[in-house]
């Protein structure tokens, strides 16, 4: 039964992968709690700040462009349909809610996967290939503690921040559309958006960003940690990290959206 065999092997491999992710997450959380800035782990905080700049500040321009363009596209596409019903006003609802709840976190996550997730997995994979991870272990330093925790902390802070910026620039771009087609000033537009948005929308967007941050860092670093062999495997790890992160981010998005839909109306 070669088909059954293949299915079985595949399932076992995927289950193993999820198990590895879970173990890594658990160990990372334990180290994260201990990594407060007042202890002797001074170096960690330097690394966290460095990572924050790398993940956050440097990806801000491209993120704002992508998110702004998406906001404008949403407004144009929505406007074209809504005009038929004489409900152009609803463009404000459309852009505001979809950006805050859904597109802001998702666009931020995908931009960060492309910029930082791939870089992280390449970095960790290179460390594995050049025996740097072994050197860490031999020095009684845990690679999860030393390599992953700073990245995780930085991502956990920066991705929600980036999400806020993405949401803002998306909504701003929608405002440009309404300025010309609805004769609303930007201030009026923002006031109406503020009326439409609920606290629930904003919180659910930020919670999603936190979940995505966890998924991105852990998948990217795990791909790096699992590397054995030469430089070819570094490239493969990077590809895998990006593909798996995008898939798992979308899956996590679906699950959390369903959760908010059913349990928090």
Residues that bind other proteins (CB under 8 A): 40-43, 123, 126-127, 130-132, 134-135, 137-142, 146
CA 22 to chain CA centroid, nearest Å = 18
Cβ proximity to other proteins: between 27 and 115 the closer is 27
Q: Which residues of 19-53 are buried (b: 16+ CB within 10 A; e: fewer)?
A: eebeebbeebeebbeebeeeeebeebbebbeebbe
Closest distance of CB 208 from other proteins, Å = 31
Q: At what angle do helices 149-181 and 42-55 cross, to 10 degrees?
A: 30
Cβ proximity to other proteins: between 144 and 215 the closer is 144
Closest distance of CB 75 from other proteins, Å = 43
Closest distance of CB 239 from other proteins, Å = 22
Are 241 and 120 in contact, with CB atoms under 8 Å apart? Answer: yes
Cβ proximity to other proteins: between 137 and 200 the closer is 137
**Residues whose CB is less than 8 angstroms from the CB of residue 225 and which lie 6 or more positions away in sequence, other chains included:** 24, 124, 128, 133, 143
Closest distance of CB 57 from other proteins, Å = 19
Cβ proximity to other proteins: between 47 and 236 the closer is 47
């Amino acid at each position: 039964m070669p088909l059954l065999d293949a299915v079985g092997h595949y399932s076992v491999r995927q289950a193993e992968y999820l198990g590895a992710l879970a173990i890594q997450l658990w160990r990372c959380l334990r180290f994260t709690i201990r990594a407060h800035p007042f202890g002797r782990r001074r170096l960690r905080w330097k690394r966290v700040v460095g990572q924050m700049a790398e993940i956050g500040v440097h990806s801000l321009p491209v993120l704002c462009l992508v998110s702004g363009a998406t906001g404008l596209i949403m407004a144009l596409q929505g406007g074209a349909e809504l005009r038929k019903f004489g409900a152009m006003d609803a463009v404000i609802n459309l852009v505001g809610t979809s950006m805050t709840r859904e597109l802001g976190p998702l666009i931020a996550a995908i931009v960060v996967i492309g910029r930082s997730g791939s870089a992280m997995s390449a970095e960790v994979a290179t460390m594995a290939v050049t025996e740097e991870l072994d050197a860490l272990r031999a020095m009684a330093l845990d690679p999860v503690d030393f390599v992953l925790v700073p990245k995780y902390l930085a991502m956990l802070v920066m991705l929600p921040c980036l999400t806020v910026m993405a949401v803002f620039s998306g909504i701003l771009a929608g405002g440009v559309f309404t300025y010309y087609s609805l004769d609303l000033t930007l201030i009026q537009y923002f006031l109406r958006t503020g009326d439409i948005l609920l606290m629930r929308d904003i919180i659910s967007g930020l919670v999603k960003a936190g979940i995505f941050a966890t998924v991105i860092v852990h998948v990217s670093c795990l791909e790096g940690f699992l590397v054995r062999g030469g430089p070819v495997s570094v490239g493969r790890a990077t590809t895998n990290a990006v593909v798996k992160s995008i898939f798992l981010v979308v899956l996590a998005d679906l699950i959390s959206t369903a959760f908010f839909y059913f349990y928090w109306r």
